[in-house]
Amino acid sequence: MRLRRGFTLVELMIVVLVLAIIASIAVPSYRSYVLRAQRSDATSALLRIRTAQEKFFLQNPQVGYTTEFGPAGLRMMPGATTTLTTENGYYNVSVTIPDPTPGATPQSFLITATPIAGGPQASDAKCTSFTLNSDGARGSAPSPIATCWK
């Protein structure tokens, strides 16, 4: 009798089945990790913009806060605009200023980051928006701050 070497079809199918089970567990877990990691793109942008707003306010006390990211405002991008895409391109960021009393300088602001429609973060159902105001209060929706601002 000759000694046969190699694998049988049953052995190969068992290996393929085990690999499929491992992949079905690992891929969703990895995708969840990537979504959590990419949230830092929004949080770091909000903190940078808040710092730029405070600097603008100190340099222009007669104007107050601004909603412009361009050269006349926060100087965060060329051209005059009121929306900004984050550094890695996962979120759109906007600044809103509550209506001050007529003739008064704006004394507060609210920065909001939302995932770009059709982008990779659009599927992040846990954190659909991030907010940061002039007082430093953080917010997120629909999950609590502790989940989104990690």
pTM: 0.81
Domain residue spans in the chain?
9-148
Task: Identify the pLDDT of residue 37.
Answer: 93
Low-confidence stretches of the chain (pLDDT < 50) are none
Pairwise CA distance, residues 58 & 52, whole Å: 10
pLDDT at residue 1, rounded to an integer = 63
Beta bridge partners of 85: 92
CA-to-CA distance for 113 and 89, rounded, in angstroms?
11
Residue 107: the pLDDT is 86
Instruction: Give the number of other CB atoms < 10 A from CB of residue 14.
Output: 12
pLDDT at 100: 67
How far apart are alpha carbons 75 and 97 in whole angstroms?
18
Number of alpha carbons in the 13 Å side-chain half-sphere of residue 37: 7
**Distance of alpha carbon 12 from alpha carbon 46, whole angstroms:** 52
